[in-house]
Structure 1
Amino acid sequence: MRPYDLVVFGASGFTGHYVVREILKMKKQANYSALKWAVAGRNGSKIKETLASVSVSTGEDLSKVPILIADVKDASSLEKMAEKAEVVVNVVGPNYVSHCSFQYRFFGEPVVKACVEKGASHVDISGEAQYLERMQLEYHKKALDKQVYVVGACGFDSIPVEMGIIHLRDNFGGDLNAVEQYMRFFPGPKGYVVNSGTWKSAVYEFATVQEINKIRRKLFPTRLPPSSHKLKIRPVLHKDPLKGKWSIPFPGPDRTVVMRSQRFFYENSDNKPVQMGSYLSFASLLNSVSVMLFGAVFAALAKIPFARDFLANNPKLITFGAFSDEGPSKSQIEGCRFSEILIGTGWDEKLPRNVSHQQEPNTTKILEVAGPDPGYVGTSICLVQSALTILKEKNKLPSQGGVYPPGAAFAKTSIIQNLQKNGVTFTFL
């Protein structure tokens, strides 16, 4: 038995504030009233400020919450933290290093390493494919040997789509062949500003495509078998088939995370791998074209070293204020929500994994996954539920440990029901 069920590492950051609030909310529920938790980071005074701020906003006295001092540049401090935790919730936030926003690709591995070596499970909210897949490549066997779980992408990237596809598959009635994801954000009347950490992560992701491909070839030396009915790729600019909103390909991590889970299901169960297309929808044609053109220029510049540095260090200037170090205001967060429409197509009959369907897909089911502000509130709900699922339902997780994407880790658990109880809904349309 360890002193703490959960330790929130990086609690003084912007996301840490909302994660602490979410843990407090869960402790009011009977199943979690005895939850033992602590907060950790490199600056004790800043952590105290965060706890005081949450106390003011919630009315809860947090003066006795244990504070652990740990720094990603001090391996021994991370190990001492990990020794005290059943699950480390890793949300080290922006400005962890002076004048440099945090990216998991730079600062995530020391925490994972400490957790695996000292026997603590680990969840984070990374959306960086390079980091996520490299952690699986380098730490899966070690985590398996230590019987601990390392699960990344447990925030808005990519719990909603991962668990949404599993919910579709489990309720499809036959074989689910493909899913098209249409994501849309609804800012409130005061608009929305995205924290610059997301911007900088995107800059480095676009700059390291070849690096990701090398990791992927080592991690997955064989390809998944092709479907007998391949999902058609939509035009770069098109209207979604349900709402008629103009849409473009979504360059985020969702598809790569989903396909890692689909490979796991194919290799470890009788499920055929589900194909996926991921798109972002907009209210108008002008918005979608503007974002598409901006994205094309952004991707090209991110591959040029001097231009990459300029992009990374000037998000507010380049995006006309859409991204900034300050992030969104409280009222902007409260006014924002998200919706993901998942259009699943397949067959009403379920065949063995190695038997192909001869006829065209004859069944369509549509699921909406929706929730509050995805950046902080929705992400905190997803992250805390992921940590609690590892804590409470280890017997339903795969094997005895390892590094997994969330779909593979949580497919047999009750996380979908728990998400719905806490603000993220799954609704068949």
Structure 2
Amino acid sequence: MAADRRPYELVVFGASGFTGQFVALEVARQRPSPEPRGPALRWAVAGRSRVKLTEVLEKVAEKLERPTLPAEVGIIICDVINPASLDEMAKQAAVVLNCVGPYRFYGEPVVKACIENGASCIDISGEPQFLEEMYWKYNERAAEKGVYIIGSSGFDSIPADMGVLYTRNKLKGTLTAVESFLTINSGPKGLCIHDGTWKSAVYGFGDQQRLRTLRKQSHLKPVPVVGAKLKRRWPISYCNELCEYSFPFMGADASVVKRTQRYLYENLEETPVQYAAYVTVRSLASVIKLMFAGLFFLLFVKFSIGRQLLVKFPWLFSFGYFSSKGPTQKQMDDASFIFTFFGQGYSQDHTTKHNKPNMKICTQVKGPEAGYVATPIAMVQAAVTLLKDTTELPKGGGVFTPGAAFSKTRLIERLNQNGIEFSVVSSSEV
């Protein structure tokens, strides 16, 4: 990558947005070099308003208890509806951290500008349609230009995708299937998420036919099932291992992990891992509350006027989980997440063709508040890995999932060092 020949190694696009300001803060936290007198990380913020971007940098300096940020931190004025301005931004960056969503509306112009101007791009999209469409439209061109376009590099897909790879690497045998269970821990003030995520979900579920058509047109051959087939749980079930209720996770995790497993199987000849993703809740009352919220959502999202109501009143229709104001600092300080992975597989001397799995493993990924603390950590460490671990990346560039791009890199190590902890809970032969 041409980081040494461009003014900035990292550019945070959309830094004045709700999530972007936290990403800018996380970039500013990075140690510029292991050596005290080493070169500083060259970075900039980008967006439509110089005034707002300046205010973001002032707030970042205040939170880090610094008089000011280094003068070298740049400000780039650009607008997602102005392709020329996106080109100018991309020309100045080695890696663009795109925080402007919903990506189905605003993501493609940034991807295109980055590819055509030789910059790599990382986003935090949880929108399968956008992620998969960018692969089919731009993978070959990105490879020609030698740049990396890596989507879904925040919460929850980085913990899920890298968590499956971590589980595979820690099993002393062949991993063939994984179930993940996401537990969100909120403090006494409860859980609140900015409505930008809600809007992405509304538009995504409202246009599922487009995603089904895209997948049908891709004509992909099924990835082989190795070993015993993973049994799917009921829509609402009780997880005995965690003593909690669970239901299928409706986000991008399954799509991202399955794309990673396809890439590793087709390009690196690695054994594909079956995957299923769930969310846990502790009480039956929470299950009922979420059921009603889900039914309202699925009913309203089918119609144009319903989608308008969902977008206009997120707090009402999400039963208080989403808000245009987002979480308070207290809510973020009190919140955390745990991903628990239950894997099964085979020891080296045990056949995968006719026998039941004889290896089990349980791993976890733990971290701080998911949306605005863990996501910036994941996104920034993915960008740093893209800058630093160039020899371990897939050769040539292209459009990748996090697991496909970073399976051979030190990303998990970096995440561990920055507050997102990967660990083995148990491993046994049965």
Decide: shared fold, TM above 0.5: yes
Q: 1:76 offset after TM fit, Å?
A: 0.4
- Residue in 2 that maps onto 1:119: 118
| 2:113 counterpart of 1:73 | no
SS of alignment partner, residue 35 of structure 1: coil
| 2:99 counterpart of 1:91 | yes
**1:308 corresponds to which letter in structure 2?**
R
- Which of 4, 24, 27 is the equivalent residue of 1:23? 27
Q: Distance in 2 between matches of 1:250 and 1:135?
A: 23
- Shift in alpha-carbon separation, 1:317–1:63, aligned structure 2, 3 A: farther
- Residue in 1 that maps onto 2:136: 137
- Residue in 2 that maps onto 1:53: 59
Contact 1:2 1:85 in 2 (8 A): yes
User: Which range moves more in the overlay, 364-373 or 167-176?
Assistant: 167-176
Q: Distance in 2 between matches of 1:216 and 1:292?
A: 28
1:253-272 correspondence runs (5 A) = 253-272=252-271
1:90-239 correspondence runs (5 A) = 90-92=98-100, 102-239=101-238
Contact 2:227 2:345 in 1 (8 A): no
Count of aligned pairs = 417
Aligned-residue RMSD, C-alpha: 1.6
Identity rate of aligned residues, in percent? 42
Q: Distance in 2 between matches of 1:405 and 1:288?
A: 31
Q: Distance in 1 between matches of 2:326 and 2:39?
A: 32
Q: 1:218 offset after TM fit, Å?
A: 3.2
1:307-346 correspondence runs (5 A) = 307-346=306-345
Contact 2:174 2:347 in 1 (8 A): yes
- Shift in alpha-carbon separation, 1:362–1:356, aligned structure 2, 3 A: closer
- Residue in 1 that maps onto 2:398: 402
Q: 1:285 offset after TM fit, Å?
A: 1.4
SS of alignment partner, residue 276 of structure 1: strand
Q: Distance in 2 between matches of 1:91 and 1:30?
A: 28
Q: 1:149 offset after TM fit, Å?
A: 0.1
- Which of 69, 76, 93 is the equivalent residue of 1:62? 69
- 1:333-354 per-position Cα deviation (integer Å, ceiling 9, x unaligned): 1111000001011111278xxx
SS of alignment partner, residue 30 of structure 1: coil
| 2:358 counterpart of 1:362 | yes
- 1:175-208 per-position Cα deviation (integer Å, ceiling 9, x unaligned): 1111001001111222221101111111111112
| 2:42 counterpart of 1:36 | yes
Q: 1:33 offset after TM fit, Å?
A: 5.2
Q: Distance in 1 between matches of 2:415 and 2:227?
A: 34
- Shift in alpha-carbon separation, 1:166–1:320, aligned structure 2, 3 A: closer
Q: Distance in 2 between matches of 1:244 and 1:30?
A: 44
**1:25 corresponds to which letter in structure 2?**
R
SS of alignment partner, residue 133 of structure 1: helix
Q: Distance in 2 between matches of 1:294 and 1:7?
A: 37
- Shift in alpha-carbon separation, 1:332–1:350, aligned structure 2, 3 A: farther
**2:369 corresponds to which letter in structure 1?**
D
Q: Distance in 1 between matches of 2:362 and 2:150?
A: 27
- 1:309-336 per-position Cα deviation (integer Å, ceiling 9, x unaligned): 1112211232343211100011111111
- Residue in 2 that maps onto 1:98: none
User: Which range moves more in the overlay, 267-276 or 217-226?
Assistant: 217-226
Q: Distance in 2 between matches of 1:297 and 1:109?
A: 30
- Residue in 1 that maps onto 2:417: 421
User: Which range moves more in the overlay, 397-406 or 237-246?
Assistant: 237-246
User: Which range moves more in the overlay, 398-407 or 227-236?
Assistant: 227-236
- Residue in 2 that maps onto 1:6: 10
SS of alignment partner, residue 341 of structure 1: strand
1:264-303 correspondence runs (5 A) = 264-303=263-302
Q: 1:63 offset after TM fit, Å?
A: 6.5
Contact 1:137 1:215 in 2 (8 A): no
- Residue in 1 that maps onto 2:373: 377
User: Which range moves more in the overlay, 140-149 or 225-234?
Assistant: 225-234
Q: Distance in 1 between matches of 2:319 and 2:274?
A: 36
Contact 1:52 1:63 in 2 (8 A): no
Q: 1:356 offset after TM fit, Å?
A: 4.3
TM superposition score normalised by structure 2: 0.94
Q: Distance in 2 between matches of 1:363 and 1:415?
A: 26
Contact 1:51 1:63 in 2 (8 A): no
User: Which runs of no fewer than 5 residues in structure 2 stay unpaired?
Assistant: 426-430
Contact 1:12 1:47 in 2 (8 A): yes
SS of alignment partner, residue 30 of structure 2: helix
**2:147 corresponds to which letter in structure 1?**
V
Q: Distance in 1 between matches of 2:130 and 2:19?
A: 19
User: Which range moves more in the overlay, 393-402 or 363-372?
Assistant: 393-402
Q: Distance in 1 between matches of 2:109 and 2:419?
A: 32
Q: Distance in 2 between matches of 1:154 and 1:406?
A: 6
- 1:62-114 per-position Cα deviation (integer Å, ceiling 9, x unaligned): 2622100010000000000000000001112xxxxxxxxx4100000000000
User: Which range moves more in the overlay, 311-320 or 10-19?
Assistant: 311-320
User: Which range moves more in the overlay, 9-18 or 252-261?
Assistant: 9-18
User: Which runs of no fewer than 5 residues in structure 1 stay unpaired?
Assistant: 93-101
- Residue in 2 that maps onto 1:392: 388
Contact 1:72 1:78 in 2 (8 A): yes
Q: Distance in 1 between matches of 2:272 and 2:191?
A: 36
Q: Distance in 1 between matches of 2:201 and 2:131?
A: 14
- 1:112-171 per-position Cα deviation (integer Å, ceiling 9, x unaligned): 000000000000100000100000010000000000000000001310011111011112
- Residue in 2 that maps onto 1:250: 249
- Residue in 1 that maps onto 2:428: none
Contact 2:245 2:281 in 1 (8 A): yes
Contact 1:154 1:383 in 2 (8 A): yes
